[in-house]
Structure formats: structure tokens, C-alpha cells
Amino acid sequence: MKIKVPASSANLGPGFDSIGLAVSLYLTVTVKGAAKEWQIDHQLGDLPHDKHNMIVQTALQVAPQLSHQHLEVSSDIPVTHGLGSSSSAIVAGIELANQLANLKLTKAAMVEIASQIEGHSDNVAPAILGGLVVGTNIDQHFDAVEAPLPPYDFVAYIPAYSLATKKARAVLPRQLDYHSAIHASAVANTLVAALFKQDYSLVSELMEADNFHEQYRAQLVPELMPIRQVGHVYGATTYLSGAGPTVMTMITPDKTVAFIEALRKKGLSDRIEVLHPDRNGVVVDDQ
Ligand SMILES: Nc1ncnc2c1ncn2[C@@H]1O[C@H](COP(=O)(O)OP(=O)(O)O)[C@@H](O)[C@H]1O
Ligand SMILES: N[C@@H](CCOP(=O)(O)O)C(=O)O
């Protein structure tokens, strides 16, 4: 059995902790069979190779009675880079438990479980459902609504350095003054309305008008503003993907190559991936 989970690009600017997009990088878990102890084969740096791996920890949280398995894990989602690697591991763990323990969890139930574990739904909901998802928690349960897919390329500029989400959340203010919070919320609400209306001219303006997090995180990701400025030359919109450091640019496909060339000319020489929305979310292949 193989479990495949897409990466996710969260926030889209003002949609902090509530909007996320599944994108075309993937984590794949192959179940090799029963084992004496949990064994996780991977080439993913210093991540655990045993029961302490987040995938296993999540699976055991959902189904504590699971027998030990030998897993093979591969992923092209960079870890601690703002593309939802932790969420992909959580979703893979939930699906692993779902399949091995025959829990028959619906995707809605998986969103609830994953959001409770992650604390916010903007990565796990698109990783489970696919597409562009808006959601939050109300009275301790999570609701997620799927929005139309923007017809654009998503150019991910992935700096060589990593930035743990925990560190990027630590630089955020503990509170906003009432009027700033009202304005930030109004911008986010209007972004959601524009996304559902598919008014992408308005979407582009609002995605760069965040007041919740980017201004505080810009100090940690110096590439954000220069890439945004280059993007404007090509009519594109740039935001901090998740907690960063990945910088994501939403651009019409006919401008993608020229935009990337302009980034290179500006001396931005780190990894670049041209991504597209993933429509499926987590999938299981029983072969
Ligand atoms: N493929 C994976 N397998 C197991 N654990 C993972 C995997 N990817 C990420 N993680 C866990 O998630 C942590 C990174 O989470 P986080 O800082 O939120 O980064 P990101 O922005 O990529 O989600 C890693 O330190 C590791 O504990
Ligand atoms: N809303 C969260 C999103 C974190 O996404 P990740 O891909 O960096 O894990 C935040 O901005 O902290």
C-alpha cells in the first residue's frame, strides 16, 4: 500500500491560519509489511527512523493498537521550509492508521483530527482534501470550505536556510489593537469573497495586504520583498508560504519563465519549483 500526500502553501497573505492551497510536491509512504519494531527507511536528513518519527507518532495517536510496521518514506517537500512538511507527515500518519486499523474515516473526519493535532487547518485541510481550502475551528470543531482553484502557476522560491514554524510563530505579537485587528480581519474576509468570486485582480491586491504576520516575519525572510517587487513587473502576486522561508508567487503561466529569469538576474540563486494546485489531497494506492 502507498499513501501519497501533497505539500501545502498556507496563509496566502491575510488568510493566516485559515487559508491553504495543496500544491504539487509530495510525501509518499510505502507500507512494506509487519516488523518486530517500527522501521522507517528514508533519506530525509536527521528525521527519526523509528517509532519517534512524526508519521508513526500520529498513527499511534489515532490507533494506539497498531502493530509495528516497516515503512519506506520519500518526499520532495522540503522540511521546515513553509510548504507543510509537518502537515504532510500528520496526514500520512492519520491515513496510515485509517487503513491499517480499518477505521473508515471520512476525509471530513480526517480534517477534524488533523486540525486538532496541528492546531490550525490551513495546511492539513488542503493536504487531505486537495485544492484551495478556507477553514477554522468553531466550538472545538473544525469546518473547511473548498474554494475555486486559481488558474495560475505558483512559483516557489525555496531559500537554502530553513525556518521552523515554531520560530516563525514566536516573532508574532501576542495581540493586535482592536482597530488593527478589525482591519486585518476585513482584508482577509474580502480576500475570501474575491477568491470565491474568482475576481483575481482583487485577489492579487488583497493577498499582499496582510496585517497579521508578514510584517513581523519579513525580518526572517529577506527575499520576500525583493521577489514581490520583481513579481509586480510581471503582474504577479507574492506571499510568504506558510511560516516561510519559501516565498510563493502566483503568476500567469505565460510570464513564469521570464519571471524566473528576472529572479536569477537579481542574484536570487536558490531552489525554484514551478508548482500547480493539487486537486486530490491524500490518496491511497493499494497496489
Ligand atoms: N516527511 C516527514 N516525516 C516525518 N516527520 C516530518 C516529515 N516532514 C516534517 N516532519 C516533521 O515536521 C517538522 C517540521 O515542521 P515545521 O517546522 O512546521 O516545518 P514545515 O514548514 O515544513 O511544516 C520536522 O522537524 C519533523 O519533526
Ligand atoms: N498558518 C501557519 C502556517 C504554517 O505553515 P508551514 O508550511 O510553515 O508549516 C503559520 O503561518 O504559522
Binding residues: 78-88
Q: Is the CB of 27 under 6 A from ligand 1?
A: yes
Structure-block grid coordinates of residue 32: 512494506
- Amino acid identity of 98? N
pLDDT digit string (tens) for the chain, length 287 residues: 999 999 999 999 999 999 999 999 999 999 999 999 999 999 999 999 999 999 999 999 999 999 999 999 999 999 999 999 999 999 999 999 999 999 999 999 999 999 999 989 999 999 999 999 999 988 888 999 999 999 999 999 999 999 999 999 999 999 999 999 999 999 999 999 999 999 999 999 999 999 999 999 999 999 999 999 999 999 999 999 999 999 999 999 999 999 999 999 999 999 999 999 999 999 999 87
Contacts of 140 (CB under 8 A, 6+ apart): none
Closest CA to 21 of 161, 153, 110, 139: 153
Test site for ligand 1: of 47, 95, 118, most ligand atoms within 8 A of the Cβ: 47
**Cα–ligand 1 centroid distance for 235 (angstroms):** 33
ipTM entry? 0.98
For residue 31, which phi and psi values (nearest 5 degrees)?
A: -85, 115
Index of the ligand 2 atom closest to the CA of residue 83: 7
Query: With DSSP H G I counted as helix, E B as strand and the rest as coil, what are the percentages for the chain, rounded to 5?
Result: 35, 30, 35
Residue positions counted in the chain = 287
Closest residue CA from atom 3 of ligand 2:
242
Q: What is the 3-state secondary structure (H, E, C) of 198-224?
A: CCHHHHHHHHCCCCCCHHHHCCCCCCH
Binding residues for ATP: 78-88
| Domains of the chain, each with CATH number or no CATH | 2-148 (3.30.230.10), 153-275 (3.30.70.890)
Please tell me the pTM assigned to this model.
Answer: 0.97
